[in-house]
């Protein structure tokens, strides 16, 4: 398993945005760092897609949208078994 290097990133956001983001991330079982990493990868992928280097955006694929709807419904209903954990490095 390769350990990925991490760098510290400091952001300035509108008042209240950080606490609202923490609330939403907690509901989804992640922290802001994980959410930002997802956003950053998606942003990069979209730029690559628009320049023609990727054939499709897998995040918005029909199968992933169905999976996300299922998981969201499980979280909303309380059926999901969420637990806090450390970031898993791959």
Q: Can you give the pTM of this predicted structure?
A: 0.50
- The pLDDT tens digits for 15-55 are 899 999 999 999 999 999 999 999 999 888 887 766 554 45
How far, in Å, CA of 53 to CA of 80, rounded?
A: 36
Domain that holds residue 60: 17-77
Residue 40 forms part of a structural domain: yes
Residue 68 forms part of a structural domain: yes
Residue 8 forms part of a structural domain: no
- The pLDDT tens digits for 3-16 are 778 889 898 999 89
The pLDDT score that the predictor gives to residue 50 is 65
Q: How many residues appear in the chain?
A: 90
Residue 61 forms part of a structural domain: yes
- Counts of helices then strands in the chain (DSSP H, E): 3, 0
Would you say 32 and 21 are in contact if contact means Cβ atoms under 8 Å apart?
Answer: yes
Residue 6 forms part of a structural domain: no
What's the number of domains the chain is made of?
Answer: 1
The two tokens of residue 90 are 């791959």
Residue 12 forms part of a structural domain: no
């Amino acid at each position: 398993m390769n350990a990925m290097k991490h760098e510290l990133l400091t952001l300035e956001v509108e008042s209240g945005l950080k606490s609202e983001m923490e609330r939403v991330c907690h509901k989804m079982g992640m922290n802001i760092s994980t959410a930002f990493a997802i956003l950053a990868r998606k942003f990069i992928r979209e730029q690559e897609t628009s320049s023609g280097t990727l054939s499709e955006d897998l995040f918005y694929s029909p199968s992933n949208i169905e999976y996300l709807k299922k998981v969201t419904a499980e979280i909303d209903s309380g059926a999901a078994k969420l637990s806090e954990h450390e970031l898993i490095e791959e």
